[in-house]
C-alpha cells in the first residue's frame, strides 16, 4: 500500500518557501518531533510552537489539506505504515501467495499471534513455571477443556516421559473429585481453558486453589475466569481467520516449557527416556541427531 499522497514531511519541505514566519516556526516544531507532535490537539500543537491555532489551520490548508483533522489523518496513516513496516517486510515472503491462498492468510495471522503473545509474555514467570514443572517432588496434574484438552494432552504426553508423578485428569468432570483428594499444597495443577470457558474447570481450579495447590493456567488473550485463582497465567492470542481458535501461540509456550523442563532434568530424564525407548520396539530408521 504505497501512499498515494506525498508524506506530510515532504509536503512541508516543498511548501516551505511559501510559508510565513510563524508558519515556519510551526513547521519547525512539527518536523522536530515528527510525526507525533502533529497528533496532539491543535491547541497544544499551537502552544508548543508558540503560535495561534488559526496559524495551524492556515498552514494545513496551504499544504493541501482540508483542515487540521485531515492533516492528522494523514499523519496517523504514516505512523501506522511506519510501525507496520518491519512486520510487513518480514512477512514479505508470503505476500505473493497470501492474497491467493487461505493457508497463507491463516499463517499470517498465526504469526502475528505468536509475535504478540511473546511480546507480552513475562519471561521471569516462564522460568518460574519451568522450574515448577521440573520439580519432581511436586505431583503434577494436567487438565483441559473440551477443545483445549488436546493441548493439555500434548503437555502431559511429554512431561510424563520426562518425569514421574504426572497425571492427566480424565475427560469427564465427574471423576475429577477423586483426583482432587490427592492434591495438596505440594501439587501443581496445569489447566488449559480457552473460550468458551468451562464452568467445570473453574470450579476445579477454585477448589484446588483452596487446597493450596499451585495453579498454572494457559488461556487466551481475554483470560479465563480461572485467572483469578491461578498462580501463573499464560495468555496466548488465539484469534484466527476461522470460526475456531488457533492454539498455536499457546502451543509454542508449551513446547518451549517442555524443552526447558527437559533441559533442567537432563541427567535424570536421560535414562528414563532410554528405558522407555527400549520398551518400544520401534524400528530405528533414523539416527538420533543432536
Partner DNA sequence: AACCATGTGTAACATTAATTACAGGAGCAA
Partner DNA sequence: TTGCTCCTGTAATTAATGTTACACATGGTT
| Contact positions with DNA (CB under 7 A) in 9-38 | 20-23
Q: Is 57 in the site for a second copy (CB under 8 A)?
A: no
Binding partner at 96 among DNA, a second copy, none, C-beta below 5 to 8 Å by kind: none
Binding partner at 60 among a second copy, DNA, none, C-beta below 5 to 8 Å by kind: DNA
C-alpha cell at 62: 496551504
Segment lying near a second copy (by CB under 8 A), choices 46-54, 56-64, 178-186, 196-204: 196-204
Q: What x/- string results for residues 15 through 44 when contact with a second copy is judged by CB under 8 A? A: -xx-x----x--xx--x-x-xx--xx----
C-alpha cell at 95: 505476500
Interface with a second copy in residues 65-124 (CB under 8 A):
76, 79-80, 82-83, 86-87, 89-91, 93-94, 97, 100-104, 106-107, 110-111, 114-116, 118-121, 123
Distance (Å, rounded) from C-alpha 244 to C-alpha 137? 38
Q: Phi-psi region for residue 46, left (φ > 0), alpha (ψ -120 to 50) or beta?
A: alpha
| Closer CB to a second copy, 185 or 244, in the complex | 244
Cβ-contact 113, 246 below 8 angstroms: yes
Number of residues that bind DNA (CB under 7 A): 25
Cβ-contact 191, 232 below 8 angstroms: no
Q: For residues 66, 22, 77 and 43, what is the CA-based torsion angle, rounded to 10 degrees?
A: -80
| Closer CB to a second copy, 129 or 183, in the complex | 129
Interface with DNA in residues 58-97 (CB under 7 A):
58, 60, 66-70, 72
Cβ-contact 192, 143 below 8 angstroms: yes
Q: Is 124 in the site for DNA (CB under 7 A)?
A: no
| Closer CB to DNA, 100 or 284, in the complex | 284
Distance (Å, rounded) from C-alpha 134 to C-alpha 266? 10
Distance (Å, rounded) from C-alpha 272 to C-alpha 290? 18
Among 12, 29, 30, 51, binds DNA (CB under 7 A): 51
In angstroms, give the least distance from the CB of 215 to DNA.
21
Q: Is 267 in the site for a second copy (CB under 8 A)?
A: no
Cis peptide upstream of residue 196 (ω within 30 degrees of 0): yes
DSSP assigned state of 231: S
| CA proximity to 234, closest of 261, 246, 252, 210 | 252
Q: Which residues bind DNA (CB under 7 A)?
A: 20-23, 41-44, 50-55, 57-58, 60, 66-70, 72, 283-284
Amino acid at each position: 500500500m504505497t501512499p498515494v499522497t506525498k508524506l506530510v514531511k515532504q509536503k512541508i519541505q516543498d511548501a516551505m518557501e511559501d510559508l510565513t514566519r510563524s508558519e515556519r516556526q510551526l513547521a519547525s516544531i512539527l518536523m522536530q518531533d515528527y510525526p507525533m507532535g502533529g497528533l496532539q490537539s491543535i491547541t497544544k500543537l499551537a502552544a508548543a510552537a508558540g503560535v495561534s491555532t488559526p496559524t495551524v489551520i492556515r498552514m494545513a490548508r496551504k499544504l493541501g489539506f482540508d483542515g487540521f483533522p485531515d492533516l492528522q489523518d494523514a499523519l496517523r496513516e504514516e505512523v501506522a505504515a511506519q510501525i507496520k513496516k518491519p512486520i510487513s517486510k518480514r512477512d514479505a515472503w508470503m505476500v505473493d501467495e497470501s492474497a491467493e491462498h487461505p493457508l497463507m492468510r491463516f499463517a499470517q495471522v498465526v504469526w502475528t499471534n505468536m509475535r504478540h503473545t511473546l511480546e507480552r509474555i513475562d519471561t521471569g514467570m516462564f522460568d518460574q513455571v519451568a522450574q515448577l514443572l521440573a520439580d519432581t517432588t511436586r505431583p503434577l496434574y494436567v487438565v483441559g477443556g473440551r477443545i483445549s484438552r488436546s493441548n493439555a494432552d500434548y503437555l502431559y504426553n511429554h512431561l510424563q516421559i520426562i518425569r514421574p508423578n504426572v497425571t492427566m485428569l480424565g475427560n469427564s468432570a465427574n471423576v475429577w473429585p477423586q483426583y482432587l483428594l490427592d492434591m495438596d499444597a505440594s501439587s501443581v495443577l496445569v489447566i488449559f481453558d480457552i473460550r468458551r470457558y468451562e464452568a467445570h474447570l473453574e470450579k476445579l481450579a477454585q477448589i484446588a486453589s483452596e487446597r493450596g495447590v499451585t495453579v498454572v493456567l494457559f488461556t487466551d488473550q481475554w483470560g479465563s475466569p480461572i485467572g483469578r485463582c491461578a498462580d501463573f497465567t499464560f495468555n496466548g492470542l488465539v484469534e484466527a481467520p476461522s470460526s475456531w481458535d488457533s492454539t498455536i501461540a499457546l502451543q509454542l509456550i508449551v513446547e518451549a516449557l517442555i524443552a526447558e523442563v527437559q533441559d533442567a532434568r537432563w541427567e535424570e530424564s536421560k535414562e528414563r527416556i532410554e528405558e522407555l525407548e527400549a520398551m518400544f520396539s520401534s524400528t530405528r530408521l533414523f539416527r538420533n541427531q543432536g
